[in-house]
Structures are given as C-alpha cells and as structure tokens.
Amino acid sequence: MNTNWKALIVVGLLSSATTIAGFKLLESGSEQDVILKEAPAETLARFTSTGAPTGMPGDFTYAAEATTPTVVHIRSSMMRQASASNAQIPEFFRDFFGDSFERQRGPQRAEASGSGVIISSEGYIVTNNHVVEGAEELEVTLSNKRKLKAKVVGTDPSTDIAVIKVEESKLPSIIFGNSDAVKVGEWVVAVGNPFDLESTVTAGIISAKGRGLGIISNEYKKKYGNSGNYEGDSPLESFIQTDAVVNPGNSGGALVNLKGELIGINTAIASPTGSFAGYAFAVPASIVKKVSGDLIKFGNVQRGYLGIVLDDLDSRKAEEYGVKVNEGVYVSKFAPNSAGEAAGVKQGDVIVKVDGRTINSVPELQQSIGLHRPGDKVMVTVNRDGKEKDLSITLRNREGGSDVLKREEASVALSALGAQFDNLTTQEKQSLARYKIPGGVKVMSIQGGKLTRVGVEEGFIITKINGKPVLSVKELQQALAGKTDSMVQFEGLYPDSPAEIFTFGFRL
C-alpha cells in the first residue's frame, strides 16, 4: 500500500478541534521585553552517564528534574454551536464527542487539554496555538498540583505558537537552549501531559531537522485563506523531528536536551490513528523565543521578509533552471517592494547562506529570515553563475516597509468568521416578521473560520450581535468593527426552524 505519510500527520491535541484565529485578552503590546533565561554554551559531558559506552543512552534524570517543574497542564473550555449535520465538524472533533453530539443543535460545552512551558517567572507560559484557540476559560495546573486561571496574551497561527499568562510570580521557568546547535542523533527528552497524564517524561533522539510538512500551512489556509504571496508570508515550518514518544495532550510541552534546556515545543505527531506511531515534531526554540517575545512585546509577530518567491533545489531542478549548484534555494521571482530585489538579488540566483549559515531548503531559509524583524539587516550569500556573492539586505514587513505592523481590526474581525454573507430577501424578511424578528444576515458559504469551528452551517441567519439587531451586511461589519480581541455574542436561527433561537459566542 503506497500511503502518503504526510497525509497522516495529526496535531497532538487531546480533544477539541476548536482552532480559531489569533487573539489577545490582555492589554495590547507592552513594548517591553520579558527576560528569558538562556543557556551558555558548554559541554554535555557532565550530563551523560560516566563511562557509558559509545552509542548508549545518557542519564535522563537531570533533564527530567530540571524540566518537569516548568511544564504545566492546560485545560481550555468553550461553548460550541452544535450542528445537526457533521459535514463541517473536523473528524477528530466528531470522534471525541461521538454520535450524540452530531445529532444536536444548540450550544454545547467542549473541553480540550494540552501542555505548556513556563518561560518567565512572572507567569508567562508558551504553548501551541491549537491548544488555546477559541477558549473562553483557561485553567493551568502547575507541577505541584496548584490550579490557576490564565489569560491569552497572544497567538500566532502561522507557527502554531501562543503565549498565555497566570497572575503568579516567582515561578520556575525553563532555560532556552540553542536549537540551531542540536545534532541529528542527539538524545532528547519530551515532557508533557499525554492523555491527561500529568508530568510524563519520555526520551528519544533527534531524527531530523528543518522538516517542512505543510501541516500548519494546510490548517492556516483552511481557516484564514492563502494570503501569502512570497516566502514565509503565512506559515513558517522548520520542525525538529524526534522519536521520543509524544501523544495527544503533549501539544505545547517541552522538548529538551540532556541539560534540561528547551530546544523545542512539541506540536504534532505522524500517525494514521491519532496516537504515536514513531515520529513527532517540535517547533524549534529559536522560533519559539522570537514569536513569544513579539507576542509579549507587540501583541502580534513582527516578521521580516525578503520578498522573494522561492523553490527548493535538487539535481533535476538545477538542470531545469540551468544553475551551477543543486543545493540551496532558487530565486523564482519577486514580490512587490521586495527587499531582496532592492539589495541586488536577481531572478535565477541560488541562496546558499544567510549570515554564514548554510541553507539547503525553503524551510531553513524561512526560519533564518523569520527570526528577524522588519528593519533588521542580514547577509545573504547567493550563487550566481557558479560564483558566490554576499549581499546585505534590510528586511521589510509584508507591506514592503520597515515599520511595526498593526492589525486592521475591522477586517481581521470579519475575515476571522470565515464565511460569505448576504442580505435577506424580501420573502425571507417576511417569514421572520411572523416571529417578530425584524431581519438578519444570511451565511451564504462557509470557508473554514470561526463559524465553522462552532458548527454553524450555510443558511444560518445572524439576527443579533451582542444583543443588538443586525439587519444588513453593512450593519454586521459595523457591529464587528473594533471587536478584535473581544468576546462577541451571536444570536440567530435556521430558516427551517425559525422559532428555535441559537446563541453562541467566541473571541475575535
């Protein structure tokens, strides 16, 4: 049987599939950096078993003892609008709730759980975006069994990273290691809460680095559309692959080296069943540190771009493109206002290094550039006609400038719903008038956003937002303007049962 294993990747979340666009509950960007603990460079010798033969595993007790106090259990809860049809409900959500959930309409309480890692003694915790998206309430259980309420600071769907915060100080926090320096074959330890089993430790080795699997890309495009038109504009994937056992519930947990230093956040598993089948994938600590720092400081991620459309190279493509090397990233064309083009990069160049680091694939290039902000300078080495050339490039934001980008609140709020809307016909209005409902806005098509995640079907009529009637698409837009990062309550009905009113809410 010739099965595409990439199609078997599943996100390692215990229950809910409530994946909704990024949001922020605390005050917007503090413009202050949070101090994270970073490890100095030092040898691994004292952390391995004394006199252990070559090829034998080291002593994992130090890593486990250092890491376990910094890993938390996260439980999220949300209200979902159940659907009479299961067509819009993701498979793993249906499996969790069973047939009884599918046959209902109306608000249903859903729960999900995962893991998180304390990155600052002030209570900042990093986890996966899919662990906390759509949550109305978050409860964090510390390693000492204390339970605390948490709030979302910010989320980044493009890397599947989120930051939450508990109001507690002097918490134990993890030390960030150098994920770029880890080597294939190196021993690692995964710490998390699989299947609600708190503080579970497993060990394995690093199987590969720089994996671009398309799993975040597929989910991102499904929920938010394909807005990216050049390198890294949407999802950024460069996973660390490991054979340490990771299962649903490990999402957001720590992957550490034998010194107990964070080298990744466990995010996904390769599995035909939803349980561990040999390989797991973690977001590298370098990306985690950059993304979490931006979320805390700015409220959203500030990513620098080259503005180049890219393609991986191999011997076949090298011959097709007529280039002198078959390793690196081929420059296919440029986005408008491209930073790379302005600095002298030409179509047909092959990018082989960034700041002296060898680049072999698009994910590696995306990671190297994605760790920088607009306005940062990078040294890019290109191979042009068989000769290498260094170019200093000042990165730009996705709009071609160098400023910090603020989110367009109204458009973000509306697009996050993931649907097309239309005004009601005269006949539809007359039908509602019998029930003393003045009108509403009809959901014409579902495209995979927040409405999908709460089970709303095509044909649903939104009649009120936050208790106020909406009678047209224009009024819908006005009602949502300025509501990003706020809790929004919807009220509506289906034309085939107009007397049955449904109410549900989520954060935009």
73 is in an annotated binding site: no
CA dist 313 and 179 (Å) reads 24
Please state, in angstroms and as integers, the Cα–Cα distance from residue 89 to each residue in 96, 252, 450, following that order.
Answer: 11, 23, 12
130 is in an annotated binding site: yes
CA dist 378 and 125 (Å) reads 30
Give, in degrees to the nearest 5, the angle at Cα 413 between 412 and 414: 95
Which residues make beta-bridge pairs with 73?
Answer: 115, 141
CA dist 234 and 478 (Å) reads 27
Assess whether 472 carries a catalytic annotation.
no
> Which residue type, as a one-letter code, is found at position 311?
D
Among candidate residues 16, 156, 158, 160, the one labeled active-site is 160
In what helix (H) or strand (E) does residue 133 lie, and over which residues does it extend?
A: none
CA dist 30 and 172 (Å) reads 23
Instruction: Report whether 290 contacts 371 (CB < 8 A).
Output: yes
Please state, in angstroms and as integers, the Cα–Cα distance from residue 135 to each residue in 77, 164, 213, 272, following that order.
Answer: 5, 11, 27, 27
Instruction: Report whether 257 contacts 240 (CB < 8 A).
Output: no
Among candidate residues 16, 130, 234, 286, the one labeled active-site is 130
CA dist 374 and 305 (Å) reads 7
286 is in an annotated binding site: no
403 is in an annotated binding site: no
Q: Quote helix, strand, coil % in the chain, to nearest 5.
A: 20, 35, 45
Assess whether 251 carries a catalytic annotation.
yes
Assess whether 33 carries a catalytic annotation.
no
CA dist 32 and 279 (Å) reads 38
Among candidate residues 173, 179, 207, 251, the one labeled active-site is 251
Contacts made by residues 30-36, CB under 8 angstroms, sequence distance 24+: 30/296, 30/297, 31/297, 31/298, 32/296, 32/297, 33/293, 33/296, 33/297, 34/119, 34/120, 34/122, 34/124, 34/293, 34/296, 34/297, 35/120, 36/119, 36/120, 36/173, 36/176, 36/289, 36/292, 36/293
160 is in an annotated binding site: yes
State the catalytic residues.
130, 160, 251
Binding-site residue ranges: 130, 160, 249-251
* Residue numbers belonging to the annotated binding site for substrate: 130, 160, 249-251
